[in-house]
């Protein structure tokens, strides 16, 4: 967070509003945004969240964010073997 008042500390929260469609897929712990389960590019390649930052004086600012998931080559989960002649 950028604030003209030096020395401020901030708290962060996910809030409802424009761009908060996927807030439930995330949590905020301290100053870290965490996803609740491993993302899967094939199922969902981006998430929309809305974050509020609040300083110790109670002033706040909100903004929507789009989080884009990268497609990675997953490890195979099964191998099929067959006899060959």
CATH of the domain at 54: 2.60.40.60
pLDDT tens-digit readout, 39-83? 999 999 999 999 999 999 999 999 999 999 999 888 888 888 888
In a domain, 58, yes or no: yes
In a domain, 29, yes or no: yes
What is the C-alpha end-to-end distance of the chain, expressed in Å?
Answer: 66
CA dihedral 60, 32, 56, 3 (to 10 degrees): -60
Domain count along the chain: 1
In a domain, 5, yes or no: no
Give the range of the structural domain holding residue 42, as residue numbers without chain letter. Answer: 10-68
In a domain, 62, yes or no: yes
pLDDT tens-digit readout, 4-31? 888 899 999 999 999 999 999 999 999 9
By CB neighbour count within 10 A (0-12 exposed, 13-18 middle, 19+ buried), where does 15 fall? Answer: middle
Judge contact between 23 and 47, C-beta under 8 A: no
- What pTM was computed for the model? 0.82
Alpha-carbon distance 63 to 49, whole Å? 9
In a domain, 81, yes or no: no
């Amino acid at each position: 967070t950028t604030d003209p008042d030096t020395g401020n500390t901030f708290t962060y929260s996910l809030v409802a509003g424009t761009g908060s469609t996927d807030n439930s897929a995330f949590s905020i712990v301290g100053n870290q945004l965490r996803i609740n389960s491993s993302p899967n590019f094939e199922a969902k390649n981006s998430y929309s969240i809305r974050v509020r930052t609040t300083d110790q004086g109670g002033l706040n600012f909100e903004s929507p964010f789009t989080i884009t998931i990268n497609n990675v080559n997953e490890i195979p989960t099964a191998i099929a073997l067959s006899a060959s002649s």
